[in-house]
Amino acid sequence: MKITMRAIALVSATALVGAGISAPTAPIATAQTTAGKAPVGGLTWPDAETGFGGEVRIVPQGTPEGDYQFSVQPEYAGFKFSVDSAGVVTVKAPVNKENNSQKRIEFPVTVKTRAGRHVGFYQATVTAQQKLNEHKAVWESVTMRGNETATARQTASLPAGTSFKIRHDLNPQLRNTVEATINHKGDVTVKPKGNLLPGRFTVAVEVWFPNGNTQLETLYFTISEQGQWQRDNATITYPTVTIPANKAGSAAPTKKNVPAGTTFALGEVPSGWTASVDRSTGVVTAKAPANSGRGARVKFSVMATFPDNSKKASQIRFTVGESSRTTPNQTGPTLGNGSSGAGILLGALALLGAAGAAIFAFMQNNGGFRLPF
């Protein structure tokens, strides 16, 4: 009779769990401890430990014998459960309000085929232990200005093999305003993508300890005041440049306190003019319209955009000068050849006679010119 009652208790508990209903603790713990540890669909879930208030992932062992889906009850005895499509169970332990040294529970992982046919359940075990709370990551608080880069340093001494990860999925909007990174020590650095208004934002960090324990922490960054815009410190000036009427000319800006990463763009260019700007240096090249008169003047703006997304406009002026000219090639007689030059000169002297000879002698003696031979 006792065997029959035990079997009835087991069947009843199994039916309740399979239906997704929390069964009483005692029948499950008594009747399923042995049967629930047999592989289900080729899979088992190892016993796991975590600290109170901690989180642990239980990865199934073995090779699945089919295409399965998994389910767990969401909460039991203060523990919270979830399972993904691969059967990995995440358990969040309760805080230790009773100051217990440990708290151990068993919970079922239900396995079904994709078609919904019940395969079985595995009775997994998780233990929350106070001793596993010895290691805990700790971050210093941070107060910053709206556009400055700041770092929250992790100050606790943690065992080798501890790893960190920013949980962007818990605050997906963070990427729109802040670039957040974390190093191997757990230090979290944030760089605003603009000049943020006073207030507070959070960064979620997950810590993985070598013993399998995890810690999920929320870091708070407080913005005390809006930072000074980079445009307020920067000075950008352009000289007035005179360019030929028929050629392009360039103007380079004088820059002071202009941070790396600043970019430049032209404003509206006057009709008939052509102009371009080097995006990284700010050098402007312009050309006047054809047939522009000397003295014609024009000005337009160059917009600088700084890394903090602030902007500043500068004026640039061009004045049209003379057209650029090219010296024509000589086509007449030259004295470049010694013999031909001498012939021309002697012929001229012969025509002048004695007077020409006298003039020639005078200029030779006074350094006026010399024959090219």
Q: Which fold has domain 142-225?
A: Immunoglobulin-like (2.60.40)
Q: What is the DSSP string of 40-59?
A: BTTEE---EEEETT-EEEE-
pLDDT in tens, 180-200: 999 999 999 999 988 899 999
For the chain, give every domain's residue range.
Answer: 48-129, 142-225, 230-320
User: Spelled out in words, what is the top-level CATH class assigned to the domain 48-129?
Assistant: mainly beta
**With 60 as the cut, is the pLDDT of residue 356 above it?**
no
Please state the rounded mean pLDDT for residues 161-179: 93
Q: Which fold has domain 230-320?
A: Immunoglobulin-like (2.60.40)
Task: Tell which wins on pLDDT, 262 or 99.
Answer: 262
Look up the pTM and report it: 0.41
In terms of Cα–Cα distance, which of 159, 101, 98 is closest to 129? Answer: 101
Q: What is the DSSP string of 271-338?
A: TT-EEEE-TTT--EEEEPPTTPPTT-EEEEEEEEE-TTS-EEEEEEEEEE-PPP--PPPP-S--S-SH
Please state the rounded mean pLDDT for residues 148-165: 93
Please state the rounded mean pLDDT for residues 244-272: 93
Determine the pLDDT at residue 347.
52
**What percent of the chain stands above pLDDT 90?**
58
Residue 116 backbone zone (phi > 0: left; psi -120 to 50: alpha; other: beta): left
Tokens (6 digits) for 350: 């012969």
Cα 91 to Cα 18, 25, 88, distances in angstroms: 20, 18, 10
Compute how many other C-beta atoms are within 10 angstroms of the C-beta atom of residue 72. Answer: 23
**With 60 as the cut, is the pLDDT of residue 118 above it?**
yes
Tokens (6 digits) for 57: 């992932």
Domains 48-129 and 142-225 share a fold: yes
Strand boundaries in 5-96, DSSP class E: 43-44, 48-51, 55-58, 61-62, 68-71, 75-76, 79-83, 89-92
Determine the pLDDT at residue 214.
84
Determine the pLDDT at residue 55.
87
